[in-house]
Amino acid sequence: MRQHDLVVIGAGSGNTVIDDSFAGLDVAVVEEKWFGGTCLNAGCIPSKMFAHTAHVARTVAGAGTYDVDAELLAVRWRDVRDRVFGRLDADREEGRRGRRESDFVTVYEGSARFTGPRALRIDLADGAVDIGARQIVVAAGGRPSVPPPVEESRLPYETSDTVMWIDAPPRRLAVLGGGYIAAELAEVFAAAGSSVVVVEKERRLLGPQDETVAERFTELARTRYDLRLGREVVAVGGRPGALRLTLDDASTVEADMLLVATGRVPNSDRLNLGAAGIAVRDDGRILVDAHQRTTAEGVFALGDICAPVALKHVANREARVVAHNLRHPDDLIAADHDLVPAAVFTRPQIASIGVTGQECRRRGLDPLVGEARYADVAYGWAMEDTTGFCKVLAERGTGRLLGAHIMGPQAATLIQPLVLAMTLGIDASTLARSPYWIHPALTEVVEKALLDLDL
C-alpha cells in the first residue's frame, strides 16, 4: 500500500486546497468524474452562461418596451452549448493536465472508498489500488436527487448534470421541483422556445426565500409557465419523447422531456465512511466541527458533502480553512457560515442574505421592515421595471441589519453593499446616510429601502 502525506478526494473545490506550500509533501488527488467539480462542469458556471444567453434573448424579444424595433429570430441552442462547453472543457482539461504534470501530486482518476482509518481503495479504469495517507480531505461533492416514481419508471429523464448537453430544447418540458435550479433552468428553456410546466410539492416556488420574494416570484412565474403547485408526481408513463406524468390529484402532464430538479444529495453514501470512523448527519452530510475536522483523526471535509449551505463560495471558503489547518495544526481557524449570501439567476434575479420574514416570526423577532421598488428610483424608470424591489429587515432600537432580499435585474450585484454591512457590523442608518449613493444608479433602490426603515 502506497502511503501519501495528503490525499484529497474530489477535484472541485478540494483541488484548490493544494498550492505550492504543499510542495514538500507527497500529495494525491482522487477524482472520479471531472476536474473542476460540479460548478465548472454542470453547475453554477455553465448554467449562468446559459442564463445570460436567455437574458439576451428576452431583451431582444422585449425591445419594443423601449421603442426599439427588433425581432428574435432564434436561440441557436447547439451553438450556445458548444460555445459554453468548448470554453469550460478547455478549463477542465487545463486543470487536469496541470495536476498530472505536477512533480509532487499524484492523480488517481477513479472512485474512492475507505477500507479503514485513513486507508482507501481506488477503483481505476484498469484495476484497483490501495493507498493510505497521514491526512485526508473529503471533498466528493453531491449529485442530483431523483424521486422514486421517476427512477422506477425506467423512462429517460434529465437532471442539471445532463440537461445542458442536449442537442435541442424540447417542445414541451416538464420541470419537477421549485427551487433555484428549477427556476434557473425553466427560464433558460422557456427563453429558448420550450413550453414549460413546473410541478412543485409546495404551494409556492422558491419556498426557502423570504416570503415576499417567493410570493411575488410565483405570481410572475404563473404568467410564464403552467404551474402545478402543491402537487407531487406519483407515476411516470408513456414512452421516450412522449412522457406522461401522473400527479397526486390524478391530473396528468404531457411532456417531451422531464427535467428533475428536486434538490441534491451528498455523495457520502458512496465512500464507505463507516470503515474510517467518519460520522454523518441524518441528511447524509459528513459531520464536521468548526475547523472542518471530521470525527476521524486526520480527516477533514469540505463543500457539498458536509456544508450547511451547498454553494460554491461556501466550498471555496471551507477549502481555504482546510488548507490553513492542514499546514498549521497548532493555529486552527474556523469556517463561518452565519452570513452566507446567495443568488438565483433566473428572471428576474434574486439575491438574499440573513433572515427571512418567516424566520423572524418563528424566532419571535419583531424587526423593522423597509422596502423600495425599482420603480421608485430613476434607473428603474429607465429600465421600465415594475416588479423589482429591495426588502431589508433590521433590529428595532439598534438598526442592526438582520436580513436583506432583492428581486430584480442585477440583484446579485446590488446585494453586495448589504453583505458588507452585515459582515462588518455596519448598522442600517450608517449605511444609508454615511456613504454617497450614486445618482441615478440602480443602487439607489438599496438606499431607499434602508431609509424606509425610518430609524
Check residue 328 and report its DSSP letter: -
Q: Which residues contact 432 (CB under 8 A, 6 or more apart)?
A: 447, 450, 451, 453, 455
CB 185, CB 160: distance < 8 Å = yes
CB 174, CB 245: distance < 8 Å = yes
Which amino acid, residue 23?
A
Number of other residues whose CB lies within 10 A of the CB of residue 377: 25
Q: Beta strand 158-159 with 195-200: parallel, antiparallel or unpaired? A: unpaired
Residue 439 is a catalytic residue: yes
Three-state DSSP state, 300 = strand
Q: Which residues contact 343 (CB under 8 A, 6 or more apart)?
A: 349, 350, 351, 352, 411, 412, 415
Three-state DSSP state, 109 = strand
Q: H/E element holding 234?
A: strand 233-239
Number of other residues whose CB lies within 10 A of the CB of residue 60: 14
Sign of CA dihedral 183, 188, 190, 196: negative
Tell me the three cell numbers of residue 352. Answer: 438574499
Chain-centroid distance of CA 237 in Å reads 30
The residues annotated with a catalytic role in the active site are: 439
